[in-house]
Structure 1
Amino acid sequence: MAEILLLPFGSAGDVFPFIWLGRHLRARGHRVRMITACLFEEQARKAGIEFIGLGRPEEFEAMIRDPRIWKLGHGTKVVFEFAAQAVEPYLAAIEGCGKVDLMLAPVTCFGARLAREKHGVPLITVHLQPAVFLSVHETPLLHPAMKVLRAMPVWFKRALFSLPNPVDLFALPKLRKICAAHGVKPPKSLWREWWDSPDGVLALFPEWFAKPQPDWPQNLLQWGFPLEDLAKEQALKPELQAFLIEGERPVVFTPGSANVQAARFFAVAADAVKRVGCRAVFVTRETSQVPANLPPSIITADYAPFSTLLKHAAVFVHHGGIGTMSQSLAAGVPQLIMHMAHDQPDNADRVERMGAGIGLSVRQFKPERVARELKRLLSDAAIQEAAMHCAHLIADAPEPGALMEWIEGRARQPR
């Protein structure tokens, strides 16, 4: 039995894949502990995973309520600034665990990488989306302007990517001071030296969604989507179940579990639903964002497992987070994505290229445009067929036994 730490950083879409990993590792007899923001304790413990909480709920709320978090070009800066602030809390929690044989963490958990360099604990970097691979061969669409960059020759992109990376400006100055305080040689560049662990890199998305490129890490294993949403522990609420069986398949709208600045999203959604004349489900943790006096054709839910809810949906309208998007692909439901920042533009672009949905920017997300695209998604047989094809690909994915063996092979041998 190995002592394994899971160290996600971020919102539910960042944490749930690690719960999925924890379920399977526990089933193989390992002791699994999760260290992350304290408000995810209930979800982790429901899945049977030991939990060590960091910080206070208001600290996580401060990050998601920062008005910059969903703005293109600014959101990544906010995330990396908070990631730098979390380095020492993560490191202290790791050191408090005593014997550790393996850590799994995203690149934003710099405390895990610091623990690797300080104590020699093996670390697997877990990438949840292809947008983190800044390849010169298939360049991710992190900004609309990068569509032009994609057309540039490889030599030009290689020269451009050799320049200082903006992420180093966001977190590296603080991280260098922390490394010095712990006797660890700081990296000259987070992107070039700390982005991928030498012990192993795990990409949790399939090859048909993002084909591996020659400049991706050589020590990488690519797998399928984790598709964790705690559906085993939480059923749909009775009032939502009743709504779903009362009429035609609704359109499901969500701006993301961490989005508490989505009043405009739901105002546009309500207007578009009225124009189309369809039924709808609005999903948001902060229901005060939803317009008052909605008609009976729209119901609001503070949480619903998408793997269950989307079986009843006609179209899924969302923000383009990788976890939300993959649940839509798994359900075979056409998608309308209002992408804002982070990996969302790239995810939306990939869905469009597969023919399984449509992407819109925040500026394009207006009632008349949304209504027009909804009508298309509800009637276009080609898009519906492409969405179902993705569902079949996901259903044919292998069992995770080989993945677990690969992870186990990177742990310290039990002492």
Structure 2
Amino acid sequence: MTNDATTPPRPRSGVSRLPGLEGRIPRPRRTAVVLSTMGSLGDLYPVLSIARHLDQSGIEVRLALSPDDCDMARRWGLLATPVGPSEAEICDRLGVTRDQIAREVLRDPGPLIRDVLIPMLPALTEELAPLTHGAAVVAATAFALHAPLAAERAGLPYVPLILQPMMLFSALDPPRSRRFGATVPAPANPLTRAWNRAWIGTARAVLRARHAADLTRVRAGFDLPPQPGTPLLDHGATVPLRLGLWSDRFAPAPADRPADFEVVGFPAAPDGDLPQPVIDWLDAGPAPLAVTLGSVAQRLGGERFWAEAVALARRMGLRAVLLRGEAEVPQGPDILSLHYAPHAPLFPRAAAVLHHGGIGSTAEALRAGRPQLVVPVGGDQPDNAARLERMGVAVSIDAKRFRADRAAARLTDLLGRFDYGAAATLGEAIAGRNGASIAALHLARLALQSRPRPLAVVS
């Protein structure tokens, strides 16, 4: 059965007031929060969710997004200002495909930052500048490098929205990826902690060597001092707060975290209804294996990945729901092939979830309380997979080694020892703390405490 519906899920209705701010929101609006992001839907959805909570609570939200993401914002009932080129324009300029860009970002984003993002920064920062007039605070995700620049130029505080635990670069809880492979996962003595600090220091030095000089040249064009600290991690703008948008059940804040850092929880996923034909298919048989590679990696595994995923399901006597995007996938009466489906209503109906380890899919699988088989492709995915394994809710296999027979053995082992009651309790605890609403509360308080920059007067 194939369903090509592309309608995204409806966002949650949210709350009409942020807790702790009743009666304090000025009307008419006198403050504004500027929000920006660059990346996949895993980057975009948390920002849109925060924006809706701010908007519904009376704080003016100024979204600065790519033209493609502005379309999604409109579907959420939000207005957004397009900043920068569209994805198609970037592909045309570089002479590459969307899949090639996704592959490079997941393997090593450094060249793309150097060759695409940094050269675009002067124009992106200028485009964002008008949105800072009359604003009180700017917040953005890691790759939106124009946001802290615009905040610094406007003299506004900047709040980093940190989506992945590995971006803390903690020596006490180091990232689990190829570039950090020599670190000790749980350093228990001064020697291993010192070893990890040396590795983390080296990783920071690599980022500085790669990007600091280029960023310093961009900053000089705005009469700003040289790039401070480590690119992507440190900013010239005043940073009163850093927000970790994940659950502390997934990754507690390490002891060596920045003093201004707080874990607020996973943002609640957008609501969405499964189409009736999908519900009918699910009702007609046993719980399936739900398979997704997120919004950018559907075709990176090639036809082999999807063929092996189907072979895995059949080997285990399961049907399969394939969230394939634009990828070509096997067909059959035991397969439901979908361009897209909201994870929140689908995952709880799955026997297990096979996913890539993206932070959004990770959050939804945890909320659903289902066993997980993680096939990380790159980026933060190996680190997320390692954390899920340590929690006892998942097993993982590197994407290059993913085969149906190997995966079946790993998944069978997990199913045999999986504690469904504990997983359900964990899912309820994670679902009970909406990181987007808490992040919005922090941003609203900062906005109300700050003095907005006056609007520029043009004579």
TM score, norm. by length of structure 1: 0.89
Counterpart selection for 1:126 from 138, 161, 169: 161
Give the direction of change, closer, same or farther, for the CA distance of 1:172–1:65 in structure 2 (3 Å limit). Answer: farther
Q: Please state if 1:19 is matched with 2:48.
A: yes
Does structure 1 retain, via aligned residues, the 8 Å contact 2:176–2:383? Answer: yes
Match of 2:24 in 1: none
Structure 1 residues 389-404: aligned runs within 5 Å:
389-397=425-433, 403-404=439-440
Match of 2:305 in 1: 265
* Aligned residue identity for 1:119: A
Q: Which moved more, 1:262-271 or 1:399-408?
A: 399-408
Give the direction of change, closer, same or farther, for the CA distance of 1:70–1:374 in structure 2 (3 Å limit). Answer: farther
1: CA distance between counterparts of 2:110 and 2:422? 31
Counterpart selection for 1:200 from 241, 246, 250: 241
Match of 1:408 in 2: 444
**By how many angstroms is 1:86 displaced?**
4.0
Give the direction of change, closer, same or farther, for the CA distance of 1:157–1:385 in structure 2 (3 Å limit). Answer: same
Does structure 1 retain, via aligned residues, the 8 Å contact 2:137–2:151? Answer: no
Match of 1:38 in 2: 67
**By how many angstroms is 1:405 displaced?**
3.4
Any gaps of 5 or more consecutive residues in structure 2? 1-28, 455-459
2: CA distance between counterparts of 1:125 and 1:404? 13
Q: Which moved more, 1:104-113 or 1:89-98?
A: 89-98
Match of 1:100 in 2: 135
Identity of matched residues, %: 25
Counterpart selection for 2:192 from 126, 144, 153: 153
- What is the DSSP-based 3-state SS (H/G/I as helix, E as strand, rest coil) of the residue aligned with 1:248? coil
Q: Please state if 1:280 is matched with 2:347.
A: no
Match of 2:85 in 1: 55
Match of 2:253 in 1: 212
Structure 1 residues 235-314: aligned runs within 5 Å:
235-259=273-297, 260-263=299-302, 264-287=304-327, 289-291=328-330, 294-314=331-351
2: CA distance between counterparts of 1:369 and 1:71? 27
Give the direction of change, closer, same or farther, for the CA distance of 1:188–1:49 in structure 2 (3 Å limit). Answer: same
Does structure 2 retain, via aligned residues, the 8 Å contact 1:52–1:93? Answer: no
Give the direction of change, closer, same or farther, for the CA distance of 1:79–1:326 in structure 2 (3 Å limit). Answer: farther
Q: Which moved more, 1:300-309 or 1:114-123?
A: 114-123
- What is the DSSP-based 3-state SS (H/G/I as helix, E as strand, rest coil) of the residue aligned with 2:254? coil
Counterpart selection for 1:5 from 13, 26, 34: 34
Structure 1 residues 166-177: aligned runs within 5 Å:
166-177=206-217
RMSD: 2.6
2: CA distance between counterparts of 1:352 and 1:319? 13
Give CA deviations for 1:17-70 in whole Å, capped at 9, x if unaligned: 001101110111112122222212232112222112231231466574226726
* Aligned residue identity for 2:401: Q
Match of 1:186 in 2: 226
Give the direction of change, closer, same or farther, for the CA distance of 1:57–1:85 in structure 2 (3 Å limit). Answer: same
1: CA distance between counterparts of 2:165 and 2:306? 28
* Aligned residue identity for 2:411: L
Q: How many residues align?
A: 408
Give the direction of change, closer, same or farther, for the CA distance of 1:226–1:58 in structure 2 (3 Å limit). Answer: same
2: CA distance between counterparts of 1:60 and 1:243? 39
Give CA deviations for 1:336-366 in whole Å, capped at 9, x if unaligned: 1001211111111111111011111123311
Counterpart selection for 1:319 from 348, 351, 356: 356
Give the direction of change, closer, same or farther, for the CA distance of 1:217–1:27 in structure 2 (3 Å limit). Answer: same
1: CA distance between counterparts of 2:153 and 2:37? 20
Does structure 2 retain, via aligned residues, the 8 Å contact 1:37–1:60? Answer: no
* Aligned residue identity for 1:374: L
**By how many angstroms is 1:393 displaced?**
1.6
Q: Please state if 1:69 is matched with 2:109.
A: no
Q: Which moved more, 1:333-342 or 1:137-146?
A: 137-146
Any gaps of 5 or more consecutive residues in structure 1? none
**By how many angstroms is 1:80 displaced?**
6.2
2: CA distance between counterparts of 1:204 and 1:334? 22
2: CA distance between counterparts of 1:31 and 1:47? 16
Higher relative contact order (CA 8 A, sep 6+): 2
2: CA distance between counterparts of 1:250 and 1:362? 21
1: CA distance between counterparts of 2:110 and 2:363? 21
**By how many angstroms is 1:188 displaced?**
4.7
2: CA distance between counterparts of 1:195 and 1:182? 12
2: CA distance between counterparts of 1:258 and 1:148? 29
Does structure 2 retain, via aligned residues, the 8 Å contact 1:205–1:222? Answer: yes
- What is the DSSP-based 3-state SS (H/G/I as helix, E as strand, rest coil) of the residue aligned with 1:165? helix
Q: Which moved more, 1:106-115 or 1:96-105?
A: 96-105
Give the direction of change, closer, same or farther, for the CA distance of 1:63–1:407 in structure 2 (3 Å limit). Answer: farther
1: CA distance between counterparts of 2:444 and 2:367? 27
1: CA distance between counterparts of 2:429 and 2:399? 30
Give the direction of change, closer, same or farther, for the CA distance of 1:156–1:36 in structure 2 (3 Å limit). Answer: same
Counterpart selection for 2:385 from 339, 343, 348: 348
**By how many angstroms is 1:391 displaced?**
0.6
Q: Please state if 1:83 is matched with 2:113.
A: no
1: CA distance between counterparts of 2:86 and 2:437? 36
Match of 2:175 in 1: 140
Give the direction of change, closer, same or farther, for the CA distance of 1:69–1:247 in structure 2 (3 Å limit). Answer: same
